[in-house]
Amino acid sequence: MRVLVVGAGIGGLGLAAGLTRAGIEVEVVEQAEQVRAHGSGVTLFANGFGALDALGIGDDVRTAAGAAGTYSSGSRRPDGSWLMRLGGAAENLRVIDRAELYRVLLAAVPRDSVRTASRVVGLGDGGVVLEGGTELAADVVVGADGLRSRVRADAFGDPGIRYAGYGAWRGITEHPVPIDAAGETLGRGARFGIAPLGDGRIYWFACVSVAPAYRAGGLDEVRRRFGDWHDPIGALLDATDPAAVSYAPIEELARRLRTFASGRCALLGDAAHAMTPNLGQGANQALEDAAVLNHLLGRDLGSAPDIRSITATLARYDALRRPRTQRIARQARLLGTVMQWRHPFLATVRDSAIRLAPTALADRQARNLQQWSLPAP
């Protein structure tokens, strides 16, 4: 059996790593000239590590991420006063430099299995068609090519892309910065997030509610908007290389897909369920997708599967993954809307609700989100 994965993102490389370990022939097709990641962090929860374990690379990622820190975490106001502190639900959470995660994923995939500078322009009868006319054949095609997926557009229809109403700057400090707490600080139409990496550096993000065509500035604009918020936000910005700061509008699929599987083609990660980052589950859900698909392909299909068995296996994948991922995407959308409220009255109501909510309730919701396991036979 031969599997063709379109897109060398976290989910696509994770699937390729699992299939390689299972002895299944796999090729990853990536349009970029080089597979690399830029300065941002990836939050991995218990469910993400469970998926990585199922793919056979969990311990490697834990080593790269470093030890989990012992920080207070929760929600604060711009003056630093606490609205809510999380309990033990975040104890297994680790934040890893995206570049380090990619390094581990690439090391688990044979070098000659990743084809770069290869842009997929459409699906063929038995695989995909590359720009220039080259056709690549496969028994199974997996679209892991992100929010603007070419595979999705060809085989599933394009649901469109929705702007969430806000954008985000992201950066990682150049060196360790002492902090005593992590989490998010909530303003009016603005948020600042702090997430420590295992080596003491800090991944941070800054969200603002702006028009879709907003032309964002760089680190100086982040300082202007957030520099007078509580410590250590100013110190984090001072410790960040301006050239390493990026800004992007927050986007998601405009509507839910009716299926993640069509014939011998399946979708994975953002191509299937691109969601806003408010629950920190984007990468974790992509890894769950990869683990389930890897499990089903390795368990249910032989070395030379027929079309009927492939179609049935991918339909099973769709039934297992679509309800959970679409539910989490809805939750993330709603949470982002509330957290970005700009009106003073609504922001005050939000802050009061967070302050009055029992810590045990927030912990239980976070733990429930992280509960995941491979499907039973």
Q: What is the mean pLDDT of residues 107-118?
A: 95
Is 377 domain-assigned? no
Residue 234 DSSP SS3: helix
Determine the pLDDT at residue 172: 97
Q: Is the pLDDT of residue 100 over 80?
A: yes
Range of the domain at 44: 2-370
- Does 301 fall in a domain? yes
Residue 88 pLDDT > 70: no
Residue 375 lies in a domain: no
Q: Is position 21 within any domain?
A: yes
Whether 162 is in a domain gets the answer: yes
Extract the runs of DSSP E, i.e. beta strands, from the chain.
2-6, 25-29, 41-44, 72-76, 82-85, 94-97, 114-115, 120-123, 127-130, 135-137, 140-143, 161-172, 181-186, 190-196, 202-209, 246-253, 261-262, 265-267
Residue 48 pLDDT level (bands cut at 50, 70, 90): very high
Q: What is the mean pLDDT of residues 222-236?
A: 97
> What is the pLDDT averaged over residues 155-169?
95
Q: What is the residue-averaged pLDDT of the chain?
A: 94
Task: Please compute the mean of the pLDDT values over residues 165-171 and round it to a whole number.
Answer: 97
Would the pLDDT of 300 be above 80?
no
Asked if residue 299 belongs to a domain, the reply is yes
Whether 192 shows a pLDDT value over 80: the answer reads: yes
Q: List the strands of the sheet with 140-143, edge to edge.
A: 114-115, 25-29, 2-6, 140-143, 265-267, 261-262
Number of compact structural domains in the chain: 1
Q: What is the CATH number of the domain that holds 347?
A: 3.50.50.60
* 134, part of any domain: yes
Question: Quick one: pLDDT at residue 70?
Answer: 74
* Range in 65-69, 136-140, 273-277, 326-330 with the lowest mean pLDDT: 65-69
Does 201 reside within a domain? Answer: yes
Arithmetic mean of pLDDT, 232-250: 97
Using a cut of 0.75, tell me whether the model's pTM lies above it: yes
The confidence score (pLDDT) of residue 371 equals 93
